[in-house]
């Protein structure tokens, strides 16, 4: 069985990724500084992996502070009687947005942790790495900084406008150089849109009242389960080198057609191709083409429609 380490596996996106990888037959080790609230590892005594015959397999949890390089090397190599060797790595752990703490604290947690993860993966001989970049490197908020065209793509240089996003831009640049140093290495950066769980969808119909409130990311989102699909497809891809992909739902958070919204709120942004109905303005064409990404979840399936 292929063993995948998921950093940040206790978080919002991480929980969906861990569940999805387990469902697809992977053995999963969650490397996080805290267990997921619902995990059996949240209790004091750690049960061993897959204890009951026939029971749904659980991810193993190992408490790691990724800002400590030594801990990361050991976590990616072996942990006593728990495991010996990691085959692939998904790096999601981070302070996940601007403004959750001070700018310097966000940068000091996220960027050195990603350096440690990338460098320790190399030390441990792991060439298959997928990590969470962010839609913010596309220049969010778009209100004050419109994109060059719709659907937004990966073809223009990153333009972070917050310290959080600067960290993601630095990580993408680091990834470029790690892959230059090691041509066998795959480092795929997934530029996730705003991650949503089913419980979040109850708030969506209210967005319709004031579209300007969600213009900051061109009305994008990604269901955590589809984010997990993208992670698995990136892990399974035979690509090498650094690649960045926008990962968004196939639709927007709105009921108003996307072209109508764009015309009203971004009248100067040209369309590279027509978009249909409520199709996403955060282009997932590259992810569809190169990863076979095919999002299947929409908020519309969880909220009564008129």
Ligand X SMILES: NC(=O)c1ccc[n+]([C@@H]2O[C@H](COP(=O)([O-])OP(=O)(O)OC[C@H]3O[C@@H](n4cnc5c(N)ncnc54)[C@H](O)[C@@H]3O)[C@@H](O)[C@H]2O)c1
Q: Does residue 13 bind ligand X (CB under 6 A)?
A: yes
Which residue in the set 39, 128, 194, 298 belongs to the binding site for ligand X (CB under 6 A)?
Answer: 194
Residue 195 in contact with ligand X, rule: CB under 6 A: yes
Residue 10 binds ligand X, judged by CB under 6 A: yes
Binders of ligand X among residues 84 to 123 (CB under 6 A) are: 92-94, 96, 109, 113
Residues 6+ apart with CB under 8 A from 280: 151, 220, 248, 249, 250, 251, 252, 258
Of 8, 12, 44, 46, the C-alpha closest to 28 is: 8
If one asks whether residue 139 binds ligand X (CB under 6 A), the answer comes out as: no
User: What is the dihedral sign for C-alpha 253, 256, 262, 265?
Assistant: negative
- Could you tell me if 218 and 282 are in contact, meaning their C-beta atoms sit under 8 angstroms apart? yes
Piece of 43-51, 129-137, 138-146, 176-184 that binds ligand X (CB under 6 A): 129-137
Beta bridge partners of 27: 3
**Nearer CB in complex with ligand X: 111/275:** 111
Residue 278 lies near ligand X (rule: CB under 6 A): no
Which lies closer to ligand X via its Cβ, residue 136 or residue 278?
Answer: 136
Q: Which of 2, 46, 67, 255 binds ligand X (CB under 6 A)?
A: 67
Binding part of the chain for ligand X, among 45-53, 188-196, 264-272, 285-293 by CB under 6 A, reads: 188-196
Strand stretches in the chain, DSSP E: 3-7, 27-32, 60-63, 78-79, 83-84, 88-91, 128-132, 186-192, 195-196, 222-223, 241-247
From 8, 189, 211, 283, residue interacting with ligand X (rule: CB under 6 A): 8
Total Cβ atoms within 10 A of residue 130: 26
Within 10 angstroms of residue 259's Cβ, the number of other Cβ atoms is 17
User: Looking at beta carbons only, is 103 or 259 nearer to ligand X?
Assistant: 103
53 contact partners, CB below 8 Å, separation of at least 6: none
Contact (CB, 8 A) for 89 and 121: yes
Considering the complex, what minimum distance in angstroms separates the CB of residue 22 from ligand X?
Answer: 17
Residue whose CB is less far from ligand X, 97 or 259? 97
In angstroms, the CA 268 to CA 263 distance is 8
Q: Output the smallest distance, CB 53 to ligand X, in A.
A: 30
Q: Does 35 bind ligand X (CB under 6 A)?
A: no
> Which residue number has the CB closest to ligand X?
11
Q: Is 220 in the site for ligand X (CB under 6 A)?
A: no
User: How many angstroms separate the CA atoms of 211 and 255, rounded?
Assistant: 10
Which positions lie near ligand X, rule CB under 6 A? 8, 10-14, 32-34, 64-67, 92-94, 96, 109, 113, 132, 134-135, 192, 194-195
């Amino acid at each position: 069985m292929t063993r995948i380490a998921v950093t940040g596996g206790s978080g919002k996106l991480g929980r969906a990724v861990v569940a999805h990888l387990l469902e697809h037959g992977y053995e999963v080790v969650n490397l996080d500084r805290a267990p997921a609230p619902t995990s059996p590892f949240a209790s004091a005594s750690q049960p061993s992996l897959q204890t009951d015959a026939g029971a749904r397999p659980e991810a193993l949890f190992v408490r790691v502070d990724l800002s400590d390089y030594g801990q990361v090397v050991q976590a990616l190599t072996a942990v006593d009687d728990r495991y010996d060797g990691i085959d692939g790595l998904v790096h999601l752990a981070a302070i996940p947005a601007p403004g959750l703490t001070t700018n310097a604290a966000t940068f000091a947690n996220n960027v050195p942790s990603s350096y440690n993860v990338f460098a320790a993966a190399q030390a441990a001989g792991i060439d298959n790495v997928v990590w969470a970049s962010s839609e913010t490197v596309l220049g969010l908020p778009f209100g004050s900084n419109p994109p060059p065209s719709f659907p937004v793509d990966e073809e223009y240089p990153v333009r972070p406008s917050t310290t959080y996003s600067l960290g993601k831009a630095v990580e993408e640049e680091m990834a470029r150089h790690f892959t230059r140093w090691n041509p066998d290495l795959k480092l795929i950066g997934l530029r996730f849109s705003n991650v949503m769980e089913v419980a979040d969808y109850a708030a969506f119909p209210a967005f319709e009242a004031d579209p300007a409130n969600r213009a900051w990311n061109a009305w994008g989102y990604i269901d955590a389960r589809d984010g997990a699909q993208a992670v698995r497809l990136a892990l399974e891809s035979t690509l090498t080198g650094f690649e960045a992909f926008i990962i968004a739902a196939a639709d927007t958070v709105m009921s108003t057609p996307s072209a109508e919204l764009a015309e009203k709120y971004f009248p100067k942004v040209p369309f590279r191709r027509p978009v249909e109905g409520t199709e996403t303005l955060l282009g997932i064409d590259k992810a569809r083409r190169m990863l076979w990404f095919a999002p299947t979840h929409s908020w519309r399936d969880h909220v009564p429609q008129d």
